[in-house]
Structure 1
Amino acid sequence: MSSKQVICGFITLVLILSHSFMLEAQLQVGFYAGSCNLAEFIVKQEVRNALIRDKGVAAGLVRMHFHDCFVRGCDGSVLIDSTPSNTAEKDSPANNPSLRGFEVIDSAKARLEAICQGVVSCADILAFAARDSVEITGGFGYDVPAGRRDGRISLASEIPANLPPPTFNVDQLTRNFANKGFTQDEMVTLSGGHTIGRSHCASFSNRLYSFNSTTGQDPSLDPIYAAQLKQQCPQGSSNTNLVVPMNPSSPTITDVGYYRDIIANRGLFSSDQTLLTNTATATQVTQNAQNPFIWRSKFAAAMVKMGRIEVLTGNAGEIRAKCRVING
């Protein structure tokens, strides 16, 4: 490679990084202070009201924010409904029926449109709602830099290349998160989001009945826990709506129970239990389990970082009038 090619490549890299920094720099805490100062308050009200009815919605909103940001960046594309000509992200098998809480975003958006028409993006509402869900369930609150714009494209076909499935091993998880700009430690930290919520049996039943060609039950799964799961998820059940808590001891509290479960070989997904198969990630699991305050701090910081992935700002995208449909 010639020196001219090296210089051109370096300049291109600088321009890309500068553009990325400019996008992030346009996100700011208190973005709506002058244009819609009740925005964050209203979103938190809607989240609180929803959790009074169903505490499990908190996990749904955190998961929804993650699934939004890892596909096309944090642009609210996961909120868009499918049309006769397009299957949107929310109807991918990875999202339907596991994602929930869309009605919370809809309610917050309707209230905000009534007082601040065309001002607050759906992407920001989702970021606020995820933060509120973490805080209300016992995690640390954090400031959410806002100013995201809404995307106009949502494709279910883009899910497999971006969202990590529950069968990933530690190396695959590390690469997946690295592609989004996260370190391995941040991957382990964000995996702790599984401390709240539930899973459909289909997402892990292979660990109970058809793990590989030589054994039905995953040998890394605690036998007593496996027996409990088999009672909750009978083999060959036709009920696709069967669900179990991700962290049975405290399924509605954002705590370090997830990491303690993994140490006890009670991680629900293969992608959870695999964190013990690598020396570095196993050490992080142990440290998180022993230091709830530190993990909560790290989780809050990682959520802020996640909320900056490939955001649309300035004149990019749009501010949707309704989160489920792009503007006409």
Structure 2
Amino acid sequence: MPGFRIRASLRPARLSRQSTAVIALSPPALAQLREDYYDTDCPTLMDIMRNAMDIVAENDPVNLPALLRLWSHDAMVSGADGSVLLSSRPGAKKPAEKAEKDAPPNLTLFGFEAVEFLKSAVELECPGTVSCADILAISAQLAVELTGGPVFQSLLGRKDSRTSHYNDGVDELPGETMNMTQLVKSFAAMGLTQRDLVVLSGAHTIGFAHCSGFMYRLYNYNSTTAADPTLDWTLADQLRRVCPKRNADPNRVQALDITTIENFDNGYYFNLQLAEGILESDQLLYEDPSTRSLVDIFADDKDAFFLAFVESMIKLGNNRVLTGEQGEIREVCDKVND
């Protein structure tokens, strides 16, 4: 894999972090999903993944939030089945012929090369054993840990989907312009609550957004000549310099947590209290009375956020998964087996 190489040592160095919470949970039992799923067939899986994730982080620290976002987009569309990793078949032109990866909400995803590197590292030791869906889930788990977030263990045993649909990516992913009713409905379709919405949005503490995701808040908001009034005016002025109205770089990105960019913490919620949410759907969590109190709780108590985040992550990761004889274990993550 270009840009990556596997180290001999299986003991990864940790990125610096302010604090770590170790959390043990007992989620509702799910058939064939368990923490020790690979203990017999691939007992060194977590050592392999930790070593490989260290290399991924050293190659580019932005890979960590990218992998967390990639996993969330996978899990939110038809469950955590690795469908977002599949490429469209050559010659596909119509939306109905394309894969989920090519849906507009997924066009800014990256980290696919990192996933293939992780898969190749696992395949060297445990060929044909670990699904891409589980590798992606573990990568998200470790991305949180390596940036200073809570330490937890995902349940494992997922199989990879043999299908991936463009329209699912369009229809099922929540968007930054949705109102609260739409967001709650979108999360309910995934088996998640309004609380999960607030909690999982906290992943934006290490997230980034392209200018296209928030520029409309900076210029002529709602057909006015001003910026979105729920956005701090000083921050709006700074963002205009990042994303100018004319000749804006489509590849330019902005950190969603402007205070502690590389640390997984509760600073995201503190920013919302100061009207410094970059995405409109983020700031909405504080502006809407139904979710403001939860934002306040997490802004004041990092441990409460960490505990809630792990619960919601596991809940999302266990929803609508393929197990047993369903799906397959792909040889490579971007295409189904022959």
Q: Structure 1 residue 125: deviation in Å?
A: 0.2
Q: How does 1:215-294 map to 2 (within 5 A)?
A: 215-294=225-304
**Deviation per residue, 1:52-83 (Å, 9 max, x gap):** 22222111111111100111211000111122
> Do the aligned partners of 1:170 and 1:277 also contact (CA within 8 Å) in 2?
no
Q: Equivalent pairs: percent with the same residue?
A: 39
Deviates more, 1:270-279 or 1:253-262: 270-279
Structure-2 separation of matches of 1:296 and 1:276: 19
* Unpaired stretches in structure 1, ≥5 consecutive residues: 1-20
Please give the secondary structure, in 2, of the residue aligned with 1:72. Answer: coil
Aligned length: 306
Distance across 1 between alignment mates of 2:174 and 2:205: 17
For the residue of structure 1 that corresponds to 2:104, the secondary structure is coil
Equivalent pair of 2:99/2:166 in contact (CA under 8 Å): yes
The answer as to whether partners of 2:243 and 2:249 remain within 8 angstroms in 1 is no
Q: What is residue 53 of structure 1 aligned with on the other side? A: 59
Residues 8-42 of structure 1: per-residue CA shift (max 9 Å, x gap): xxxxxxxxxxxxx88x2210001100001112221
RMSD (CA atoms): 1.4
Whether 2:319 is the aligned partner of 1:319: answer no
Q: Which moves more between the two structures, 33-42 or 187-196?
A: 33-42
Q: 1:199 aligns with which of 197, 202, 209?
A: 209
Residue 290 of structure 1, CA deviation = 0.2
Q: CA deviation at 1:218?
A: 0.5
Instruction: Please report the TM-score for the alignment, with normalisation by the length of structure 1.
Output: 0.90
Q: Which residue of 2 aligns with 1:17?
A: none
Q: Over residues 112-138 of structure 1, what are the superposed CA-to-partner deviations in whole Å (9 max), with x where a residue is unaligned?
A: 222222110000000000000001101
Partner of 1:64: 70
Q: Are the aligned partners of 2:83 and 2:100 in contact in 1 as well (CA < 8 Å)? A: yes
Q: Secondary structure at the match of 2:209?
A: strand
Q: Output the CA distance in 2 between the equivalents of 1:147 and 1:211.
A: 46
Q: Matched residues in 2 for 1:244 and 1:294: separation? A: 27
Query: What SS does the aligned partner of 2:140 have?
Result: helix
Of 94, 114, 117, the residue aligned with 2:127 is: 117
**In 2, distance between residues paired with 1:44 and 1:162?**
31
Residue in structure 1 matched with residue 151 of structure 2 by the alignment:
141
Deviates more, 1:266-275 or 1:45-54: 45-54
List aligned pairs for 1:53-202, cutoff 5 A. Answer: 53-83=59-89, 84-85=91-92, 86-96=97-107, 98-202=108-212
Q: Tell me, in whole angstroms, the C-alpha distance in 2 between the residues paired with 1:50 and 1:91.
A: 24
User: How big is each residue's C-alpha offset from its partner over 1:191-246, in whole Å with a ceiling of 9 and x where there is no partner?
Assistant: 10111121100010000013212344101110000000000000032521111111
Query: Which sections of structure 2, spanning at least 5 residues, go unmatched?
Result: 1-27
Please report the TM-score for the alignment, with normalisation by the length of structure 2: 0.88
CA deviation vs aligned residue, 1:142-192 (integer Å, no higher than 9, x gap): 111100000011122211211001111222111111111112111100010
- In 1, distance between residues paired with 2:68 and 2:187? 17
- Provide the rounded CA distance (Å) in 1 between the counterparts of 2:215 and 2:279: 9
Give the conservation status (yes or no) of the 8 Å contact 1:199–1:243.
yes
Single out whichever of 134-143 and 46-55 deviates more from structure 2.
46-55
42, 50, 63: which is aligned to 1:44? 50
Secondary structure in structure 2 of the residue aligned to 1:159: helix
CA contact (8 A) 2:52 2:121 kept: no
Work out the CA distance in 1 between the residues paired with 2:49 and 2:101. Answer: 21
